[in-house]
Amino acid sequence: MTKEYFSHKHLLGIQGLHPPEIQEILDLSDRYVEQNRGGDKKQSSLRGRTVINLFYESSTRTRTSFELAGKRLGADVINMQVSASSVNKGETLIDTAMTLNAMHADILCVRHPDSGAVKLLSQKVNCAVINGGDGSHEHPTQALLDALTIRRRKGRLGGLTVAICGDVLHSRVARSNIYLLNTMGARVRLVAPRTLLPAQAQRLGVEVFHDMREGLADCDVVMMLRVQNERMKGSFIPSIREYFRFFGLDYEKLACAKPDAMVMHPGPMNRGVEIDSDLADDVERSVIREQVEMGVAVRMACFDILARNLAGA
Ligand code: NCD
């Protein structure tokens, strides 16, 4: 039986969520977009709640928007300063979780370089946990904000063809988007060099292309991914120049997609590596700044729903 409402304690990933649960988050996010555009942005649905940001990896958009989302809903928000060098894997993570637990945090937003670490932490605490990105596994709030951006522009998700292009291998953004878009009935294509695709990518329920012009043909949405040099051990691409020539998105390659195809990128961008700088700034084609706006609204909706599900709410 499919669930009607999002009744989970944590938001650890998109995998396993049902369409009505995703829809509920997106519908509520739409309401917050309107509110955030108005004069009075402050709400009180999280008054008395404590949100803690625990980021073991660098972040601009995700951490800031979790903070802003919590504050706009009236929560007390704390940003823990975690330096990557002090991370001692397993034991330290659990110790940290126990410490935060003792302080009665209500929602913990966690980013960690190891896939599965956020889930492990969620099993040790009483509070709700949101995955802000774990290794190359999942980044659920990014996929939700991407879906919101697409749905507001195109009016739907089902039936659209979305090309996810570039460093899929290292991308938690790609994985969460594949799960979400497949669940909501979109067609997903992966366009990447063989070295930047996970083994047996087809098993993810996608079509795989190694040529941008073929992969982009008749697409509604072109989602570019950052080349994640920091996760690469060894050589995955011959040179930046060559990568841009074959896999960088420019106007000429974009012309293969539908005339109204929208261009997305989760940020941070490597201009001139995976995307042409002028195209990234072209508001007629690129919705990259809109994605950032949607990020705040989606995180407000997630907080709201998880707070509702907290014991004693
Ligand atoms: C992404 C991430 O950290 O996974 N950024 C983000 O959250 N907007 C993508 C990336 O780092 O390339």
Is the bond preceding residue 193 a cis peptide, omega within 30 degrees? no
Within 10 angstroms of residue 270's Cβ, the number of other Cβ atoms is 19
> Does residue 135's CB lie within 6 angstroms of at least one atom of ligand 1?
no
pLDDT band at 284 (very low <50, low <70, confident <90, very high): very high
What is the residue with the minimal CA distance to atom 11 of ligand 1?
Answer: 268
pLDDT band at 85 (very low <50, low <70, confident <90, very high): very low
pLDDT at 1 over 50: no
pLDDT at 91 over 70: no
> Does residue 267's CB lie within 6 angstroms of at least one atom of ligand 1?
yes
Amino acid 231: pLDDT: 78
> Does residue 226's CB lie within 6 angstroms of at least one atom of ligand 1?
yes
> Does residue 189's CB lie within 6 angstroms of at least one atom of ligand 1?
no
% of the chain with per-residue pLDDT over 70: 95
> Does residue 271's CB lie within 6 angstroms of at least one atom of ligand 1?
no
- Check: pTM over 0.75? Answer yes or no: yes
Cα 127 to middle of ligand 1, angstroms = 25
Q: Do residues 170 and 136 lie in contact, with contact meaning Cβ atoms separated by under 8 Å?
A: yes
User: Which H helix or E strand runs over 111?
Assistant: strand 107-112
> Does residue 248's CB lie within 6 angstroms of at least one atom of ligand 1?
no
Q: In terms of Cα–Cα distance, which of 194, 215, 208 is closest to 257?
A: 215
Pocket test of ligand 1: the residue of 58, 114, 139 to mutate, having most ligand atoms within 8 Å of its CB, is 139
Cα 159 to middle of ligand 1, angstroms = 26
Q: Where are the alpha helices (DSSP H) in the chain?
A: 19-37, 61-72, 90-102, 117-122, 140-154, 172-183, 212-216, 240-247, 251-254, 277-281, 288-309
Tell me the C-alpha distance between 112 and 110, whole Å.
Answer: 7
pLDDT at 87 over 70: no
User: Which H helix or E strand runs over 128?
Assistant: strand 128-134
* Identity at 177, one-letter amino acid code: N
What is the residue with the minimal CA distance to atom 12 of ligand 1?
Answer: 226
As to burial, measured by CB atoms within 10 angstroms (0-12 exposed, 13-18 middle, 19+ buried), residue 255 is exposed
Q: What is the pLDDT of residues 39-55, one digit of tens each?
A: 888 889 999 999 999 99
Cα 190 to middle of ligand 1, angstroms = 18
Amino acid 89: pLDDT: 56
Nearest ligand 1 atom, CA 226:
12
Cα 141 to middle of ligand 1, angstroms = 11
pLDDT at 2 over 70: no
> Does residue 228's CB lie within 6 angstroms of at least one atom of ligand 1?
yes
Q: What is the pLDDT of residues 75-84, one digit of tens each?
A: 999 998 776 5
Report the mean per-residue pLDDT for the chain. Answer: 93
Q: What angle do CA 310, 152, 73 make, to 5 degrees?
A: 30
